[in-house]
Amino acid sequence: MSNYNDNTQKGIPDYMMNLFEAFPYPLQIFSRDGTARVINNAALEMIGIRSRESHIGKYNVFKDPIVRKLGVIDQVREVLTGKTVYLTDFTASYEDMLRYYNVTERNLKLINTDITCFPLVEKNGRVEYFAAVFIFKNIYVGKEEIGRGKQYIKTHWKEPFDADKIAKAAYLSKSHFTKLFKIHTGITPYEYYINYKISRLKEILLDTNLSISQAFAACNMSYNGHSARLFREKVGLTPSEYRKKNQNK
Protein backbone atom coordinates (compact mmCIF):
# COMPACT_ATOMS: atom_id res chain seq x y z
CA MET A 1 0.00 0.00 0.00
CA SER A 2 1.28 3.46 -0.85
CA ASN A 3 0.54 4.81 2.62
CA TYR A 4 3.36 2.81 4.18
CA ASN A 5 6.98 2.33 3.22
CA ASP A 6 8.81 -1.00 3.14
CA ASN A 7 10.61 -0.44 6.44
CA THR A 8 7.36 0.40 8.20
CA GLN A 9 5.47 -2.71 7.13
CA LYS A 10 8.42 -5.09 6.94
CA GLY A 11 7.20 -8.53 7.97
CA ILE A 12 3.51 -7.66 7.62
CA PRO A 13 1.90 -9.35 4.56
CA ASP A 14 0.10 -7.13 2.06
CA TYR A 15 -3.21 -8.91 2.58
CA MET A 16 -3.03 -8.11 6.29
CA MET A 17 -2.22 -4.50 5.52
CA ASN A 18 -5.31 -4.31 3.33
CA LEU A 19 -7.38 -5.93 6.06
CA PHE A 20 -6.13 -3.51 8.70
CA GLU A 21 -6.87 -0.50 6.52
CA ALA A 22 -10.39 -1.71 5.74
CA PHE A 23 -11.12 -2.49 9.40
CA PRO A 24 -14.06 -0.29 10.47
CA TYR A 25 -12.74 0.45 13.98
CA PRO A 26 -9.65 2.47 14.94
CA LEU A 27 -6.70 0.10 14.87
CA GLN A 28 -2.94 0.28 15.28
CA ILE A 29 -0.17 -2.28 14.86
CA PHE A 30 2.98 -2.13 16.98
CA SER A 31 6.29 -3.95 16.82
CA ARG A 32 7.63 -5.74 19.92
CA ASP A 33 9.40 -2.62 21.15
CA GLY A 34 6.11 -0.69 21.10
CA THR A 35 6.78 1.38 17.98
CA ALA A 36 3.75 2.14 15.80
CA ARG A 37 3.95 0.38 12.40
CA VAL A 38 0.39 0.67 11.10
CA ILE A 39 -2.47 3.03 11.81
CA ASN A 40 -5.68 2.86 9.81
CA ASN A 41 -7.81 5.75 8.64
CA ALA A 42 -10.42 5.18 11.34
CA ALA A 43 -7.76 5.70 14.04
CA LEU A 44 -6.33 8.77 12.33
CA GLU A 45 -9.74 10.40 12.17
CA MET A 46 -10.98 9.42 15.62
CA ILE A 47 -7.80 10.31 17.52
CA GLY A 48 -7.16 13.37 15.36
CA ILE A 49 -3.58 12.51 14.37
CA ARG A 50 -2.47 14.94 11.67
CA SER A 51 -0.61 12.48 9.47
CA ARG A 52 0.79 8.96 9.29
CA GLU A 53 4.27 10.39 8.79
CA SER A 54 4.14 12.09 12.19
CA HIS A 55 3.07 8.86 13.92
CA ILE A 56 4.38 5.75 12.17
CA GLY A 57 7.89 4.80 13.32
CA LYS A 58 7.91 7.67 15.85
CA TYR A 59 5.18 6.96 18.39
CA ASN A 60 5.98 4.30 20.99
CA VAL A 61 3.20 3.04 23.23
CA PHE A 62 5.64 1.97 25.97
CA LYS A 63 7.00 5.52 26.17
CA ASP A 64 3.61 7.25 25.95
CA PRO A 65 3.31 9.75 28.86
CA ILE A 66 -0.47 9.28 29.06
CA VAL A 67 -0.20 5.47 29.17
CA ARG A 68 2.44 5.83 31.88
CA LYS A 69 0.31 8.35 33.78
CA LEU A 70 -2.61 5.91 33.81
CA GLY A 71 -0.31 3.13 35.06
CA VAL A 72 -1.10 0.51 32.41
CA ILE A 73 2.33 0.03 30.77
CA ASP A 74 2.93 -3.34 32.44
CA GLN A 75 -0.58 -4.44 31.55
CA VAL A 76 -0.01 -3.61 27.88
CA ARG A 77 3.33 -5.45 27.91
CA GLU A 78 1.53 -8.68 28.77
CA VAL A 79 0.46 -8.87 25.13
CA LEU A 80 4.08 -9.82 24.31
CA THR A 81 3.58 -13.06 26.25
CA GLY A 82 0.77 -14.04 23.89
CA LYS A 83 -2.11 -12.81 26.03
CA THR A 84 -4.99 -10.66 24.87
CA VAL A 85 -5.15 -7.54 27.04
CA TYR A 86 -8.32 -5.58 27.73
CA LEU A 87 -8.12 -1.97 28.89
CA THR A 88 -11.52 -0.66 29.95
CA ASP A 89 -12.44 2.98 30.45
CA PHE A 90 -9.11 4.30 29.20
CA THR A 91 -9.67 8.02 29.72
CA ALA A 92 -7.33 10.70 28.40
CA SER A 93 -7.65 14.46 28.48
CA TYR A 94 -7.44 16.02 25.04
CA GLU A 95 -5.23 18.72 26.52
CA ASP A 96 -2.64 16.02 27.28
CA MET A 97 -3.02 14.63 23.77
CA LEU A 98 -2.33 18.06 22.30
CA ARG A 99 0.72 18.34 24.54
CA TYR A 100 2.25 14.98 23.68
CA TYR A 101 0.97 14.04 20.22
CA ASN A 102 0.75 15.69 16.83
CA VAL A 103 -3.04 15.92 16.89
CA THR A 104 -5.36 18.57 15.54
CA GLU A 105 -6.87 21.10 17.93
CA ARG A 106 -10.51 20.31 18.53
CA ASN A 107 -13.12 21.48 21.00
CA LEU A 108 -12.76 18.34 23.11
CA LYS A 109 -11.97 17.81 26.76
CA LEU A 110 -11.91 14.08 27.33
CA ILE A 111 -11.78 10.88 25.29
CA ASN A 112 -12.98 7.64 26.84
CA THR A 113 -12.34 4.30 25.12
CA ASP A 114 -12.01 0.58 25.64
CA ILE A 115 -8.84 -0.87 24.09
CA THR A 116 -8.20 -4.50 23.18
CA CYS A 117 -4.57 -5.45 22.54
CA PHE A 118 -3.94 -8.84 20.98
CA PRO A 119 -0.75 -10.57 19.76
CA LEU A 120 0.07 -11.33 16.13
CA VAL A 121 1.88 -14.63 16.56
CA GLU A 122 4.43 -15.95 14.03
CA LYS A 123 4.54 -19.63 13.00
CA ASN A 124 7.40 -20.15 15.43
CA GLY A 125 5.18 -18.93 18.24
CA ARG A 126 7.00 -15.63 18.69
CA VAL A 127 5.05 -12.39 18.99
CA GLU A 128 6.64 -10.00 16.51
CA TYR A 129 3.74 -7.53 16.39
CA PHE A 130 0.64 -6.77 18.35
CA ALA A 131 -2.56 -4.93 17.48
CA ALA A 132 -4.66 -2.47 19.43
CA VAL A 133 -8.34 -1.96 18.58
CA PHE A 134 -10.11 1.08 20.03
CA ILE A 135 -13.82 1.18 20.83
CA PHE A 136 -14.53 4.84 21.53
CA LYS A 137 -17.34 5.09 24.07
CA ASN A 138 -17.57 8.81 24.65
CA ILE A 139 -15.92 11.98 23.41
CA TYR A 140 -16.78 14.78 25.77
CA VAL A 141 -16.98 18.43 24.89
CA GLY A 142 -18.05 18.74 28.48
CA LYS A 143 -20.00 21.98 28.85
CA GLU A 144 -23.44 20.41 28.93
CA GLU A 145 -22.42 17.61 31.31
CA ILE A 146 -20.74 20.04 33.69
CA GLY A 147 -23.70 22.41 33.55
CA ARG A 148 -26.11 19.62 34.49
CA GLY A 149 -23.88 18.59 37.39
CA LYS A 150 -23.59 22.15 38.70
CA GLN A 151 -27.33 22.65 38.47
CA TYR A 152 -27.97 19.47 40.45
CA ILE A 153 -25.58 20.65 43.18
CA LYS A 154 -27.25 24.07 43.34
CA THR A 155 -30.69 22.47 43.57
CA HIS A 156 -29.68 19.90 46.21
CA TRP A 157 -27.06 21.83 48.18
CA LYS A 158 -28.84 21.29 51.51
CA GLU A 159 -28.64 17.54 51.06
CA PRO A 160 -25.56 15.44 51.89
CA PHE A 161 -23.06 15.27 49.03
CA ASP A 162 -23.78 12.30 46.75
CA ALA A 163 -21.33 11.87 43.86
CA ASP A 164 -23.38 9.09 42.27
CA LYS A 165 -26.56 11.18 42.08
CA ILE A 166 -24.69 14.21 40.69
CA ALA A 167 -23.01 12.11 37.99
CA LYS A 168 -26.34 10.48 37.13
CA ALA A 169 -27.87 13.92 36.66
CA ALA A 170 -25.06 14.66 34.19
CA TYR A 171 -25.68 11.31 32.41
CA LEU A 172 -22.13 10.14 33.13
CA SER A 173 -20.45 7.57 35.33
CA LYS A 174 -19.07 8.91 38.60
CA SER A 175 -15.42 8.48 37.55
CA HIS A 176 -15.92 10.13 34.16
CA PHE A 177 -17.90 13.02 35.60
CA THR A 178 -15.31 13.66 38.32
CA LYS A 179 -12.45 13.74 35.80
CA LEU A 180 -14.35 15.94 33.39
CA PHE A 181 -15.48 18.32 36.15
CA LYS A 182 -11.91 18.73 37.43
CA ILE A 183 -10.61 19.43 33.91
CA HIS A 184 -13.25 22.11 33.31
CA THR A 185 -13.36 23.79 36.70
CA GLY A 186 -10.03 23.01 38.34
CA ILE A 187 -11.77 21.59 41.43
CA THR A 188 -13.61 18.39 42.30
CA PRO A 189 -17.41 18.18 42.45
CA TYR A 190 -17.16 17.90 46.24
CA GLU A 191 -15.11 21.10 46.47
CA TYR A 192 -17.68 22.85 44.28
CA TYR A 193 -20.46 21.57 46.54
CA ILE A 194 -18.69 22.84 49.68
CA ASN A 195 -17.94 26.22 48.10
CA TYR A 196 -21.55 26.65 47.04
CA LYS A 197 -22.82 25.60 50.46
CA ILE A 198 -20.52 28.12 52.17
CA SER A 199 -21.65 30.85 49.77
CA ARG A 200 -25.27 30.24 50.77
CA LEU A 201 -24.33 30.12 54.45
CA LYS A 202 -22.67 33.54 54.10
CA GLU A 203 -25.97 34.94 52.81
CA ILE A 204 -27.99 33.46 55.66
CA LEU A 205 -25.50 34.65 58.30
CA LEU A 206 -26.42 38.23 57.36
CA ASP A 207 -29.88 37.65 58.81
CA THR A 208 -29.32 38.78 62.40
CA ASN A 209 -32.72 37.43 63.41
CA LEU A 210 -31.03 34.04 63.37
CA SER A 211 -28.33 32.91 65.75
CA ILE A 212 -25.16 31.60 64.16
CA SER A 213 -26.19 28.09 65.13
CA GLN A 214 -29.61 28.62 63.48
CA ALA A 215 -27.95 29.97 60.32
CA PHE A 216 -25.88 26.79 60.09
CA ALA A 217 -28.96 24.67 60.73
CA ALA A 218 -30.78 26.47 57.90
CA CYS A 219 -28.03 25.10 55.63
CA ASN A 220 -28.41 21.62 57.12
CA MET A 221 -25.05 21.99 58.86
CA SER A 222 -24.22 21.48 62.50
CA TYR A 223 -22.45 24.40 64.12
CA ASN A 224 -19.41 22.72 65.64
CA GLY A 225 -15.65 22.98 65.64
CA HIS A 226 -15.29 21.24 62.28
CA SER A 227 -17.84 23.37 60.42
CA ALA A 228 -16.51 26.56 62.01
CA ARG A 229 -12.96 25.69 60.89
CA LEU A 230 -14.23 24.89 57.41
CA PHE A 231 -15.96 28.27 57.21
CA ARG A 232 -12.80 30.07 58.31
CA GLU A 233 -10.68 28.14 55.77
CA LYS A 234 -13.01 29.20 52.96
CA VAL A 235 -13.84 32.76 54.05
CA GLY A 236 -10.83 33.84 56.10
CA LEU A 237 -13.03 34.83 59.05
CA THR A 238 -14.95 33.02 61.74
CA PRO A 239 -18.75 33.03 61.31
CA SER A 240 -19.14 35.65 64.07
CA GLU A 241 -16.36 37.82 62.59
CA TYR A 242 -17.97 37.58 59.15
CA ARG A 243 -21.39 38.57 60.54
CA LYS A 244 -19.94 41.50 62.48
CA LYS A 245 -17.99 42.78 59.48
CA ASN A 246 -20.97 42.58 57.13
CA GLN A 247 -23.92 43.28 59.40
CA ASN A 248 -24.62 46.69 57.88
CA LYS A 249 -24.50 45.48 54.26
Residues 60 and 92 in one domain: yes
Alpha-carbon distance values, 2 to 18, 21, 52, 59 (Å): 11, 12, 12, 20
| pTM > 0.75 | no
| CATH code, domain carrying 185 | 1.10.10.60
Q: What's the CATH code of the domain at 96? A: 3.30.450.20
In a shared domain, residues 159 and 134: no
Q: 64 and 112 in one domain?
A: yes
Residue 26 CA to residue 93 CA, distance in Å, equals 18
| pLDDT confidence of residue 182 | 85
From 86, 105, 140, the end of a domain falls on 140
pLDDT per residue rounded down to tens, the chain (249 residues): 334 444 445 556 666 667 777 778 899 999 999 999 999 988 888 888 888 888 999 999 999 999 998 899 999 999 999 999 999 888 888 878 888 888 887 767 778 889 999 999 888 889 999 999 998 876 655 577 888 899 999 999 999 999 999 999 988 888 888 888 887 788 999 999 999 999 999 999 999 899 999 999 999 999 999 999 999 999 999 999 999 988 765
Query: Does residue 200 sit in the same domain as residue 164?
Result: yes
Instruction: Tell me the CA distances in angstroms from 248 to 236, 242, 245, one per residue in order.
Output: 19, 11, 8
The boundaries of the domain holding residue 35 are 14-140
How far is residue 230's CA from residue 171's CA, in Å, rounded to a whole number? 31
End residue of a domain, out of 140, 162, 179: 140
The residues, any chain, with a CB within 8 Å of residue 241's CB and separated by 6 or more, are: none
Residues 73 and 109 in one domain: yes
The terminus-to-terminus CA distance of the chain in angstroms comes to 75
Same structural domain, 132 and 165: no
